[in-house]
Every structure is written in structure tokens, then in C-alpha cells.
Amino acid sequence: MATTNPFFNSVYPGQTTEQDLLDDLVIEQIAMFGADFLYMPRKMLNLDKLLHESSKNAFEFAMPVPMYVKTFSGYNNGMEMLTKFGVRASDEVTLVMSRSVWNTQYAPFVKSYYNAEAGRPTTANLENLEGEAARPKEGDLIYFPFDDGIFEIKYVMFDQPFFQLGRGYVYELMCEKFEFSGESFETGYEEIDQAKTQPDYYRMEFDLVPDGVGSFEHGERVEITDFTNLIDLQSEDLDNLTTEQRDQLVVDEVFRLYNDPGYLEHVEKVYATVMDVDVPNNKLVVADLTNLDPDQEDGETYEISINKFDTVIIKGMTTGATWTSLNAHEHKTAFNDNEIIQDEFDDIKIIDNPWDENPFGFL
């Protein structure tokens, strides 16, 4: 029976020395002609395990990883399109990293991070259904230092080049320009963390009671605490309460918010980032909220007008400023026509019964 030559067979065990030589050459080439990129593993919050989707992602750390820019001649599909939501860049780039370097130096750290977040031993197996993986994976982000941009990994190729000497040596990361959609950035790198403050994304505006203490700073993280036990009090009673009295009244209060699958859960505090402070008009605008919830139905008017963040205490985590809010609503932004669409619908809709005004039945 004819067989392949064992001295040149790619899968023959005797070829391990040649494989190691080729791997060393790949590492050396990336070190000489590559660059250090910041790699950010994605943490999926409020994950729906059935659909494997999450409406909120967080990026809590970034680590420098050497990579080679394969598309050295420029961005692939480099064009800008004017859309309803502004100018959209569709730049694409392909990056190459050493598989052995990642597996030996970075994968153990990523694995210990996910296990620590889940409260498991550092050497425990990862939960793939939780979006955890020790390899570079789709959805993770890479900071591109040349143009101060952030790219999202869309696909990871494992078979390029195609098993030279029977082994793979690199990960090819096919990346696309990242589009911000409410993700939270707390990596410690200012050039990355400021990504959440630049887009004109969803922001909540609070109407503050004009007896607060201190002043908030732009970009400061604040903690928001519910005090629904004061909703039944008259506004004049609220005005007469001191900040210390309000603090005492909210010690045991927690938010009751819906998570992504639609179940109520208890949330002790909600955190956000200060975007704007209008002192003369007693208004505070925040973004990057850690929890959100649909507006609730008013039992008398059947309108979706009850916001669980109406009556809250807001504390600055840096300045210590403390203010009380009695009203919360979405901050108007450019290209936002939600109110116009709702008004037009209200003018033409036919209501046979009050439930028609709340088709989704939020309670």
C-alpha cells in the first residue's frame, strides 16, 4: 500500500522542530514589523441565555498585545456614509497576532478575569453560554493607536495560512470600525474611556430640587438611589426635608427594574456618568446608566408616563455632591424624532379601549 513520505509529512510527529522554528519566525516578524494594540475583552451584562444577546456590554480592562497590520495599504471598504444617525464610517482592518503568544501569555489572564467575575476558581472551565472564552472572540474591541480609533472584531480566522506543516500559528482578526451603542468603558485608559462621552447617545435628564449640596463635575460617576417611599408626600413636605433626612429615608430602598428577559429584579444602586450640569435651571444630564427600564403605565390615564427614576437621590462619587430629583426624562438629542413620531401616532390612532394605548403591557 502506498503512503506519504514520513520525512515530509505535515502531520508526522518528527516535524515539531520545524513547526517551532516557523512559530518563532512568526513571533519575530510581528515584533519587528507590528505594533502594540490595546485589546479589550467584552463582558456581557444582563445576558439573555436563550437568544444569547445582551443589551448592555462592558469593557473593564485593556491589555497591550503585539499585532501585525495585514491591510497595510489602507482600510478595506474605507468609505463614509451619511445616514439618519449622522456620518457612519465603515473602515475595516485585518490584524494578525501570534497564536502561541496569546495562548501562553494572555489567555490565562483573560480566563482568570472571567472566573473572578463569576466567583469561580481561577482555573475553572469557562462558560461558553455566558459569552466567556479565553481566545480572541467576536465582539471584543481593539484600540487602534494610529488614528485614535476603536475597532470591533467581527470574525476570527483560524486557518490562515492553511496549516503549514500541519499547524496553525496565528489568529487573523477581521475588524470593523466600532459603533457606540451604550457600552460601558472603565479600562483606565483615557483615550478609550472617553468613547462613551463623545457620541450623542441616549441620555437621561433630571430636574433637581434646588437645595442640593455641592456641584457635580463633567465626566464624574454618580450613584443613583431610589426613594419611592417619598412619592406619596406632598412637594412642600419634600422641600422641607434636609439632605440628611432624605439619606435616612432611602437606606433600605432599592429599585425594582426589569432585566432583559422581562423579570423584575432588585437593584440597590444605578450608576451613571455626568454629561452636563445646568446650575441656573437645576438640571443634570447623565449617560452610560448601568440599568434602565421601560416607562410604566399610569393606572388612571393609561399613558406610559411613570419613570422609575423620577424620585431619586444622586450622589457624586468624586465630589460628594448630593442632589434630589423629582422628575426624569430622556434628554433631547440630534436626529431624535421619538416625540414627533409619538405625537403623530396619537393624532391618528383609534382607541377602542384603554389598553390600546399600552400594547406591550408594561406594568
Average pLDDT along the chain, 363 residues, taken 10 residues at a time: 65 69 87 89 80 80 89 66 61 88 89 86 82 85 86 87 79 87 81 71 85 86 78 50 58 70 79 87 87 71 73 90 86 68 64 54 47
- Cα within 13 Å of Cα(8), Cβ side: 3
pLDDT at residue number 222: 92
* Beta pairing partners, 276: 285
Bridging pattern class, strands 86-89 and 80-83: antiparallel
pLDDT given at position 80: 61
DSSP result, 290-336: S---PPEEPTTT--EEE-TTSSEEEEETTT--EEEEEEEEEPP-TT-
Between CA 300 and CA 358 the distance in angstroms is: 13
**Phi, psi angle pair for 19, to nearest 5°:** -65, -45
pTM of the model: 0.66
Cis status of the peptide bond prior to 66, with omega within 30 of 0: no
Q: How many helices (H) and strands (E) does the chain have?
A: 7, 21
How much is the pLDDT for 239? 58
What's the pLDDT at 39? 92
Bridge pairing between strands 56-59 and 184-185 = parallel
**Given this model, what pLDDT does residue 330 score?**
81
The span from the CA of 219 to the CA of 197, in Å, is 8
What number of other Cβ atoms are within 10 A of residue 256's Cβ?
13
